[in-house]
Amino acid sequence: MSLRGLLRFAACLALALPALAFASGRTPKPEIIIANPGHCVEPTEIMRRNHPQMLLHQRDLTVHEGIRTSKYSLKGCVQCHASKTTGSVLGEKGFCQSCHAYAGVTLDCFECHASKAKLAGATP
Amino acid sequence: MSAGSNEGLSRRGFLAISAATLGGVMLAPGIRLIEIAAARAPDQPASGKVRWGLLIDTNKCEPGCDDCVTACATENGIKSTGHPRTDSQWIRKVELKDMRSGRTHSLPVMCQHCAEPPCVDVCPTGASFKRADGIVLVDRHICIGCRYCIMACPYKARSFVHQEISDQNPDVPRGKGCVEGCTLCVHRVDRNQQPACVEACTKAGHNAMIFGDLNDPHSEIAQRVAKYASTQIRADLRLDPGVHYQGL
Amino acid sequence: MAESLAYRQLSGPPARFWALLAALAVPLALGAAAYFYMEHNGHIVTGMDNQIVWGMPHVFAVFMIVAASGALNVASTASVFGKTAYKPIAPLSALLAVSLLVGGLTVLVLDLGRSDRLIVAMTHYNFKSIFTLNVFLYNGFIIFCAAYLWTMLERRMNRYAKAVGMGAFIWRLMLTTGTGSIFGFLVARQAYDTAILAPMFVVYSFAYGTAIFILLLLAACRWDGQPIADALLARLKNLLGVFVAASLYFVTVYHLTKLYMTRYDDLERFILVDGGVYTLLFWVGQVLLGGILPLILLFHPRTPRRGIVAACALVVLGGLAQMYVTIIGGQAYPQILFPGMIESSSFFDGVIHPYTPSLPEVLLGLGGMALAASIVAVALRALALLPARLDQVAGSQA
C-alpha cells in the first residue's frame, strides 16, 4: 500500500472510530473502582459535579477556622476511596487519578496531601 | 452550643469532648492539661477568646535532649533527606553560652506564634495568617513560595520545601515549593490534645514545656507567667510572641 | 526644532536584525531551560537554602527592577524638567524602562516556589505587604510608561505629555521606594531594618538606569551608523556622574548609620572587613569598579567615547555587585536571636551562612536580561521610537 493510501485509510479509521465506539458502547471511559461500595456523603451525581467546590469550601474552613468535621474533608475522601490493592487514590487505577487523567484535569491536591489512607492501628 | 451547630457533630466527636472534659475535671484544679472552656467540637471555629501559647523552662530543659524535636518530626512527617541546609526544621534545640558569665542554656526554638507576626504582614497573598486563637499558620493553598516571610521572621522559624515530598501524614499536608513552620500541632490542638513536643517533654520527665491558653487566668501557663519572671525572644521587637521562656 | 522630533525604526538589512535576535535567543532558551529544571526538581538544585532564601535570581531581578525606574530618567528630565535636549530620546527611555521591568519581574516570578500559582498572587492580596503594594506599583508603572509613550508619539496627545510624564515620574519614585522598602522594613535582619534603603535604592536606580540607557543609545546609533552630538553625550555622562557620586554618598551614610550604633558593629565588621567575598565585592566591585573608577572616567575632561562606554558598563557591574552584597551578604550574616550569647544549633544559628550561586540561577537571571534586550530590539524594529537625527542638540541650555 502506498503511503498516501495508508494515510487515507488511517484518516477514515480515525473518523469512523467514534461512531463505531458509540454504536457498540465501546467509548473509552475511565475505570472507576469503588473500594468501599456504599453511600458517599452526597448522591453520586452531586459528587461528580460538585466535589471540587465542596473541597474548596471545606479547605478554607479547616485551614483558617479550624473546623474539622469529617463529612467533606479530603482526608475522609482518601480514607474511603483509597484502593484496596495500592492503598492510594493515585496510580493508574486510583480513584482520583483515573478520572482526572481521563478528563485531563490537573490534580494538585496530592502534591501536599497524603494520597494514602491511614492504616488501621496506626497512631491517631 | 446551639442546636444548629450540633449537626456535624459525630458520636465519636462527642465522646472525645466528653473524655477531654472528664480529663480536665479529673486532674487537680489549676493544673488542667486542656482547659474545659477551650475544649471545642470539630464543627466549631477556633475562638478569639483563646490565645494558645507555650512556656518553656530552660532550667528544666536538658542539654543534649532532643525528644521534642524527634516527636515533632514523627508527628508532622518531617524526614531528613541528607541535606541539612535545605531540610525543614520546625523546631530546633539551641545551645547558648553567655559571652561574659559563661552560663549555658539549652532550649527549643520554634515558631513563636507572635501576636503581631511579621510573616503575616509581609505575605503578599495572605497565605501567612494568624488564626483567631493566636496560632500562626501558612495556608499552602495560596502560598506562592516567595519566601518573603522567611526574610521577615526574626526567629528563623520558617522553612521552604526544596524538594518533592511523599508519604505525608494525612493530618499534615506538606509539599514542594511552599513555606512551612511549626503549627503548634494545630491538628492535635483542634482535637483537644497537646502539641507533640510538649507531650514528649512531659513523657521524658523533664516537664520543661507547658502548653495552654494565655488568656485563661485559671490555666497553668497563665498562672506561671503571672507568678514567675519569663521573657520572650527578641522582646525588643514587641511582636508579643505566644512562646515564653523562663530561666533565660 | 520640529524636525528633530521625527522618529524612525531601527534600520539595516533584515539578516542583521535576525542575527541579533538569534543571538538573544540563546540566553533566552538557556534561561527557560533553567526555569524548567528548577521548577521540576525544586529549589534543591539551586544554591539557595533555608538560610539564604533569596539568591542570584533576586540579585538580577532587583537590579533590573531598580534600573527600570531609573531608565525613565531621561524621559522625565525632558518632559517634567523641560530639558528639550532629551526630548528626541525620551521614547527610547520609556521603552527601556518597561523592558527592564518586564525582564526583572519575569525572573522574580519564575523563581517562585509555586510559579504555577501566579494567578493566586493576582487574586489574593494582603494590603499590609510591601510585595502587594509593589504588584500595583509595577503594573501601574507599565501602564504609565505606555501612556507616556503614547502622549509623546501621537501628535494630538502631545499636550498631555508633560502631565503624564509628571505622573510617571512620581510613580517611579514610589516604585523604587517600594522596592527599597522590601528590605528596609525587615526588622528581622541587621543589614536591613533602616528606612535609608528606600532613598538609597532611588539613587541607585538613577545611576543604573542612566548607565544602561547610555549603553543602549550608543548601541542603537552604532547599529545604524547614526552620529550622536558630543554635546548630548556629554550631558548624559555628566548626569550619570552625579548619580554615581550620589550613590556613593548614600552608601557612606548607610554604613556610618550602622557603624554609629554599637549593636551593628559585628555586621559592619563582616561587610567591610572580614566578610570574604562580600567584603571584596563591596570594596572592589561596588566602591572601586562601580563608583570611583566610573567617576574618574566620567568627569575626566578628555575621556573618549570608549571611556564613557566603559564607565557605563562598570556602573552596571558595580550595581550587580551592590545587589549581591545587599541581598546575599545581608542574609549571610546570621540573625541574632539572643544578643550577648554564643548560639549554636542544627539550624545554623549564630554562624555565617555560605552561599554558592548555581548555574541555573545565573542562567535564569541572564535570561531575564536577554528578555529585556529582546523586547527593546523588537520594539525598536517594529515601532518608530528612535529619533531621526541626533547630531545636533536642541535647547542650548543645560
Is B48 within 8 Å of chain A by CB?
Answer: no
Q: What is the pLDDT at residue C128?
A: 94
How many domains are contained in chain C?
Answer: 1
Please state the rounded mean pLDDT for residues A94-123: 85
Subunits with at least 3 CB pairs below 8 A relative to chain B?
A, C
**3-state class percentages of chain A: helix first, strand second, coil last, to nearest 5:** 50, 0, 45
Is A85 in the same domain as A51? Answer: yes
**Cβ separation C342–B87 shorter than 8 A:** no
pLDDT tens track for C317-346: 999 999 999 999 999 999 999 999 999 999
A119 belongs to a structural domain:
no
Q: What is the pLDDT at residue B25?
A: 44
CA distance B248 to C13: 75
Percentage above 70 pLDDT, chain A: 84
Is A63 in the same domain as A19? Answer: no
Q: Which of A41, A63, A107 to mutate to test the interface with B (most CBs of B within 10 A)?
A: A63
Q: What is the pLDDT at residue C153?
A: 87
Q: What is the pLDDT at residue C158?
A: 87
CA distance B67 to B70: 5
Q: What is the pLDDT at residue A23?
A: 59
Percentage above 70 pLDDT, chain C: 97
According to DSSP, the residues that pair with B92 across neighbouring strands are: B109
Q: What is the pLDDT at residue C6?
A: 85
CA distance C348 to C52: 11
Is A99 in the same domain as A41? Answer: yes
For residue C120, count CB atoms less than 10 angstroms from its CB and return exposed for 0-12, middle for 13-18, buried for 19 or more.
Answer: middle
Distance of CA C318 to the CA centre of its chain: 11
A120 belongs to a structural domain:
no
Is A71 in the same domain as A103? Answer: yes
Asked if pLDDT for residue B205 goes beyond 70, the answer is: yes
* C158 vs B151, more confident: B151
List b or e across C31-47, with b for residues whose CB sees 16 or more CB atoms inside 10 angstroms: beebbebbbeebbbbbb
How many residue contacts between A and B have a Cβ separation below 8 Å?
Answer: 62
Is A98 in the same domain as A72? Answer: yes
> What CATH number did the domain enclosing C108 receive?
1.20.1630
Residue-range definition of the domain harbouring residue A15:
1-27
The residue type found at B48 is G
Residues of C in contact with B233 (CB under 8 A): 337-338
As a dihedral over the C-alpha atoms of residue C211, residue C215, residue C220, residue C224, rounded to 10 degrees, the angle is 140
Q: Find the CB nearest C53 among B95, B120, B147.
A: B147
According to DSSP, the residues that pair with C8 across neighbouring strands are: C386
Within 10 angstroms of residue C143's Cβ, the number of other Cβ atoms is 13
**Radius of gyration of chain C measured on its C-alpha atoms:** 21
Q: Find the CB nearest B178 among C114, C115, C349.
A: C114
Cα atoms in the 13 Å half-sphere on the side-chain side of B247: 16
Is A73 in the same domain as A91? Answer: yes
Q: Cβ neighbours of residue B124 under 8 Å, at least 6 residues apart?
A: B144, B146, B148, C121, C125, C126, C129, C131, C132, C135
* A114 vs B14, more confident: A114
Question: Residue holding cell 456523603?
Answer: A41
Is A18 in the same domain as A40? Answer: no
SS (H, E, C) C44-103: HHCCCCCCCCCCHHHHHHHHHHHHHHHHCHHHHHHHCCCCHHHHHHHHHHHHHHHHHHHH
A116 belongs to a structural domain:
no
Is A98 in the same domain as A43? Answer: yes
Cα atoms in the 13 Å half-sphere on the side-chain side of C90: 32
For A76, which residue in chain B has the nearest alpha carbon? B170
* C390 vs B245, more confident: B245
Q: What is the pLDDT at residue A39?
A: 84
Within 10 angstroms of residue B27's Cβ, the number of other Cβ atoms is 13
Q: What is the value of ipTM here, to two decimals? A: 0.92
Residues of B in contact with A113 (CB under 8 A): 168, 170, 173
Q: What is the pLDDT at residue B10?
A: 47
* C393 vs C22, more confident: C22
Asked if pLDDT for residue C39 goes beyond 70, the answer is: yes
CA distance B128 to B157: 13
pLDDT tens track for A26-63: 677 788 888 888 889 999 999 999 999 999 999 999 99
Is B17 within 8 Å of chain A by CB?
Answer: no
pLDDT tens track for C113-140: 999 999 998 899 999 999 999 999 999 9
Question: Residue holding cell 558595580?
Answer: C318
**Cβ separation C113–B85 shorter than 8 A:** no
Q: What is the pLDDT at residue B34?
A: 52
How many domains are contained in chain A?
Answer: 2
Kind and range of the H or E element at C109? helix C90-110
Q: What is the pLDDT at residue C93?
A: 96
How many residue contacts between B and C have a Cβ separation below 8 Å?
Answer: 158
Residue B220: name the closest of B248, B198, B247 by CA: B198
A118 belongs to a structural domain:
no
Is B186 within 8 Å of chain A by CB?
Answer: yes
Please state the rounded mean pLDDT for residues C245-262: 96
Retrieve residue C102's grid coordinates: 518586564
Q: Which of C345, C348, C351, C353 to mutate to test the interface with B (most CBs of B within 10 A)?
A: C345
Q: What is the pLDDT at residue C82?
A: 85
Q: What is the pLDDT at residue A35?
A: 84
**Cβ separation A71–B46 shorter than 8 A:** no
- Cβ contact B174:B161 at 8 Å: yes
In angstroms, what separates the C-alpha of C114 from chain B's closest C-alpha?
5
In angstroms, what separates the C-alpha of C371 from chain B's closest C-alpha?
22
CA distance C312 to C289: 11
Distance of CA C126 to the CA centre of its chain: 26
Q: What is the pLDDT at residue A17?
A: 64
Q: Which of B17, B44, B75, B76 to mutate to test the interface with A (most CBs of A within 10 A)?
A: B44
CA distance B146 to B124: 9
Question: Residue holding cell 567575598?
Answer: C277
pLDDT tens track for C184-193: 999 999 999 9
**Cβ separation C43–B160 shorter than 8 A:** yes
CA distance C212 to C209: 5
Q: What is the pLDDT at residue B20?
A: 47
Retrieve residue B63's grid coordinates: 542539654
Is A2 in the same domain as A35? Answer: no
**Cβ separation A114–B170 shorter than 8 A:** yes
pLDDT tens track for B119-130: 999 999 999 999
Residues of A in contact with B43 (CB under 8 A): 67, 69
pTM for this entry: 0.89
Asked if pLDDT for residue B42 goes beyond 70, the answer is: yes
Asked if pLDDT for residue B131 goes beyond 80, the answer is: yes
Q: What is the pLDDT at residue C3?
A: 41
Q: Find the CB nearest C114 among B100, B126, B144.
A: B144
Q: What is the pLDDT at residue C389?
A: 85
Confidence category of residue B237, pLDDT binned at 50, 70, 90: very high
In angstroms, what separates the C-alpha of B242 from chain C's closest C-alpha?
16
